Amino acid sequence: MALRIWASSTANALRLSSATGPHFSPLSRSFSSVLDGLKYANSHEWVKHEGHVATIGITHHAQDHLGEVVFVELPEAGGSVTKDTSFGAVESVKATSDINSPISGEIVEVNSKLSSTPGLINSSPYEHGWMIKVKPSNPKELEHLMGAKQYTKFCEEEDAAH
């Protein structure tokens, strides 16, 4: 854990960023399965808030605990999501698992690639495996979510519990 935090602070200090936005740290990604600059729910979804749009997906920890995703059910654009309520589901190892939205808002875009390539959730949970884009109706909800360090600790505690 110390190594991860060191790596992400180093990345931040060096101001490493990808072309997609100032808050991403590709270096920390190779050391860590938790990305800086994202917000996290305790049901293991992540939110990337950029301007008026928030992108939502599930974390590396979540996809690892699910196993290989073979099917994804997503809502249609134009619909709405409510904080802590299910908006879709994934199937892996003969289990369908609900996916919950960390925030409320209007769905503006849905990742259509996931119906033909559900495995993107496993191979690229923070990038190509994104699920929906939402216009947040209540941006304050983002403040209640965890940051990277807090989420990392949360995962470790959860895994140690059994």
Partner 1 sequence: MRIPRNLEVWRLGTVNYLKALKLQEKLASDRKINKIPDTLLSLQHPPTYTLGKRRTDYNLLVPESELKNMGAELHYTQRGGDITFHGPHQAILYPIISLRDIGLGARKYVENLESTMTELSSLYGVKAHGQRKCETGVWVGDRKIGAIGVRISAGITSHGLAFNIDPDLTFFKHIVPCGIADKDVTSLRTETDLVLPDDEVIQEQLVSCFARLFGYNDIIWKDKNVIEIDG
Neighbours of 32 (CB within 10 A): 20
Residue 62 CB, nearest distance to partner 1 (Å)?
A: 8
Residue 96 found at the interface with partner 1 (CB under 8 A): yes
Q: Which of 13, 19, 22, 94 binds partner 1 (CB under 8 A)?
A: 94
| One residue of 1, 14, 16, 93 binding partner 1 per CB under 8 A | 93
Q: Is 124 in the site for partner 1 (CB under 8 A)?
A: no
Tell me the C-alpha distance between 58 and 6, whole Å.
24
**Footprint on residues 12-51 left by partner 1 (CB under 8 A):** 43
Decide: is 68 part of the binding site for partner 1 (CB under 8 A). Answer: yes
Residue pointed to by tokens 């892996």 = 92
For residues 87 and 106, give the distance between their C-alpha atoms in angstroms, rounded to a whole number: 12
Q: Which letter does DSSP use for residue 89 in this model? A: E
Specify whether the CB–CB gap between 102 and 145 falls below 8 A.
yes
Q: Which two tokens stand for residue 135?
A: 């216009």
Q: Between 97 and 111, whose beta carbon lies closer to partner 1? A: 97
Q: How far is it, in rounded angstroms, from Cα 94 to Cα 68?
A: 10
Instruction: Considering the complex, state which of residue 109 and residue 159 has its C-beta at the smaller distance from partner 1.
Output: 159
Least separation in angstroms between residue 64's CB and partner 1 is 7
Residues forming contacts to partner 1 in the complex (CB under 8 A) are 43, 62, 64-68, 71, 73, 86, 89, 91-98, 100, 158-162
